[in-house]
Structure 1
């Protein structure tokens, strides 16, 4: 057991033995030393008596623990042992203190919240949104901070950063998720006041009313026909089915039934829908064609990794807007008014009701709503009709309406009337005149 005055330079020079380990004791503090193993690992130790028994305690590894720090720690252990204390108990208490401190960081508290509340109580889609806010890039700077140090100013700054990306609605959602998280932390006595308590939403959050006009739909569809990458097909399916963005993005091949036939249907299981109700989406020929042209790289239809659903909607939407704006600029036309992907769903619903004369209960069924009078209350208990044929008819005509807008500006007039008459005959209800779309200027797109 070599004994010498340990210095930082000497510790660096120590070479591992051919086998086993060798210990170097410090001439300055004889009970303190360094153990070097054949693997090259170097660990500090101290020898002291605990309850009359000579005991070796490991202090930490070099270089994570420096020579000066290890020597000081050895002195404290020796003094505590002389005073009758047990350094091992003190070390255990220190580990518990550090573990509790780690738990009360934003990162640790968020992990507890996800485990004890979100993952147990909430649907997968909602859990994913909580994960994105609490464990994503927006709150990355908070991760190692004590949760009690997060202030109202921190929250407001975060919301402004999200809003500046062009996402005021996302900022409002972030505030709602953070509010729930901090209120839970308050209930667990991890904080004494919530930093979101007096933070107001940055935007009003009023219900949107944006519905794209036939001309706007024509420009959108024409642009999508030349839009590259996976998002071109995804945006088309989003438009032609009217389903929610998360539902389309998470589409799986095993959810698609009879894809190569006119009876093709997309079956959404309860865990993938907002209202936790299974949902059948008949697939129009145009949608089937889009899906059949996509490569199969894994279980997910829209995926670049074959393991996770496609992401980056904001960037893809901005690129689409720029593409449409450039095409319209070439024709000396102004850019389209701002619109969101969810506006496509509202546009389909509105058009089915006002232009294609689809009965309201069929429209409700198409978008998996259970709020209509035919499905509410006692009526909903007995009315289990799924209107699958009517839904297929509605979605087929909607797809025809969209895809023909570019080719024939007036085709939708007669199509709307024929569709209304077809539904009236099918359901034995008096037909009513279809609202005809206004004359639409010709659209000339450069290739």
Structure 2
């Protein structure tokens, strides 16, 4: 007699394995614990075999009969249903394993960056990290790398273009392509989607802009006093105040390390690998500059960096943080972090300071045969005098005093 659903539902455990036949090889087995499952007996190559079709009630009697018929049809075609089931399970496990091994773009970036940063200098490694984490990962970071298309990368780059960051698009595109080529090489993904992005015509050409800087005392009065009102994180606020006093490039200032600061002797000494010209650089510190750096000791003294990121004690602030602060203060398009170097150079040259002192302080390379021989401590005494005079001059402007030109070149 064929089974009924009512019969199956009412069947109870009796402490032994029970087998209730439905017919045509299908049966319901009830374990000692009372678990009910459908099984089917079939014959392949003259040998009897059993296959479990599923557990009741998740699998109903009607569904079990349909599965039984499917297995029968497979057997008639010479297919061993147990081997077929094992193969399907293995394929599913392979798919699940592949899913577990898939990387997001953020994971690929971290792996690629960690692999390469040992061979990069600090500035380059920081530039790569900043550009990718600021511009690319917020858009595509959570995407699996094998699903990212050229159109999605273009979308991320177009967002940069809309923000007026056209000068950074090429670098982000290059870094992203290198990242994907690394992934292809290790078998983490099959293609580099950046490879198929057209080289030209797709993005607007950018016009080169001057590095904005102020030189009029009235403008500097507004700027210096505005900087004192900055309400962002303390690292950026202090770096903003220090920037006009030290003539460092934004990356050099943002990445300033405590190991580079000698407060006892009033000096910053930056090694060649952090300098644009790949030469060590010494910066005499004015009294004002020393006080600003000292004010960071309670905040970041236990970190490697003077201007520690508000998000992580093991990283410095982004070099663009200073420019962002200037924009927040209303000086976007008027003054940039790099522009402080131009401000100092313009005014110090106008006021007659020794040109060699100024160029040395800016860490500029010189084609002049005399200036071409670089000594990191060259003109240190004169530059120390100049830097203190410059900080005093800035304080005078900020106070709104009638500032007298500070021509003390000694020339």
The TM-score with structure 2 as length reference comes to: 0.65
Residues 228, 90 of structure 1: alpha-carbon distance in 2 compared, 3 angstrom cutoff: closer
Q: 1:339, 1:182 → 2: CA distance?
A: 37
> Which SS does the other structure have where 2:385 is aligned?
helix
CA deviations on 1:167-211 (whole Å, 9 max, x unpaired) are 454445434433544566677763376144425654525252533
1:198 aligns with 2:223: no
Question: Contact 2:167–2:206 at 8 Å: present in 1 too?
Answer: no
1:318 aligns with 2:327: yes
Tell me, which stretches of 5 or more residues in structure 2 are unaligned?
A: 6-31, 42-57
Aligned to 1:174: 172
Q: 1:348, 1:371 → 2: CA distance?
A: 18
Residues 30, 302 of structure 1: alpha-carbon distance in 2 compared, 3 angstrom cutoff: farther
1:282 Cα shift?
0.8
1:234 aligns with 2:239: yes
Q: 2:134, 2:147 → 1: CA distance?
A: 20
1:110 aligns with 2:101: no
Residues 174, 282 of structure 1: alpha-carbon distance in 2 compared, 3 angstrom cutoff: same
1:160 aligns with 2:158: yes
RMSD over aligned Cα, in angstroms?
4.3
> Which SS does the other structure have where 2:240 is aligned?
helix
Question: Contact 1:133–1:139 at 8 Å: present in 2 too?
Answer: no
1:283 Cα shift?
0.3
Question: Contact 2:181–2:191 at 8 Å: present in 1 too?
Answer: no
> Which SS does the other structure have where 2:298 is aligned?
coil
Residues 183, 352 of structure 1: alpha-carbon distance in 2 compared, 3 angstrom cutoff: farther
Q: 1:88, 1:155 → 2: CA distance?
A: 36
Q: 1:319, 1:166 → 2: CA distance?
A: 16
1:406 Cα shift?
3.9
Superposition pairs of residues 48-59 of structure 1, within 5 angstroms:
none
Pick from 125, 128, 131: which aligns with 2:126?
128
Q: 2:128, 2:93 → 1: CA distance?
A: 34
Pick from 400, 403, 408: which aligns with 2:395?
403
1:112 Cα shift?
4.5
Larger radius of gyration: 2
> Which SS does the other structure have where 1:302 is aligned?
coil
The TM-score with structure 1 as length reference comes to: 0.60
Q: 1:203, 1:397 → 2: CA distance?
A: 43
Residues 308, 164 of structure 1: alpha-carbon distance in 2 compared, 3 angstrom cutoff: same
Q: 1:179, 1:353 → 2: CA distance?
A: 44
Q: Which structure ranks higher in relative contact order (CA pairs < 8 Å, sequence separation ≥ 6)?
A: 2
Question: Contact 2:282–2:376 at 8 Å: present in 1 too?
Answer: no
Pick from 361, 366, 369: which aligns with 1:366?
361
Aligned to 1:27: 37
> Which SS does the other structure have where 1:411 is aligned?
coil
Question: Contact 1:81–1:87 at 8 Å: present in 2 too?
Answer: no
1:344 Cα shift?
1.4
Q: 1:136, 1:80 → 2: CA distance?
A: 54
Q: 1:316, 1:355 → 2: CA distance?
A: 29
Q: 1:363, 1:165 → 2: CA distance?
A: 35
Question: Contact 1:175–1:196 at 8 Å: present in 2 too?
Answer: no
Aligned to 1:256: 261
> Which SS does the other structure have where 2:252 is aligned?
helix
1:93 Cα shift?
4.8
1:316 Cα shift?
2.6
1:296 Cα shift?
1.3
> Which SS does the other structure have where 1:27 is aligned?
strand
Question: Contact 1:172–1:202 at 8 Å: present in 2 too?
Answer: no
Question: Contact 2:246–2:283 at 8 Å: present in 1 too?
Answer: yes
Q: 2:99, 2:81 → 1: CA distance?
A: 20
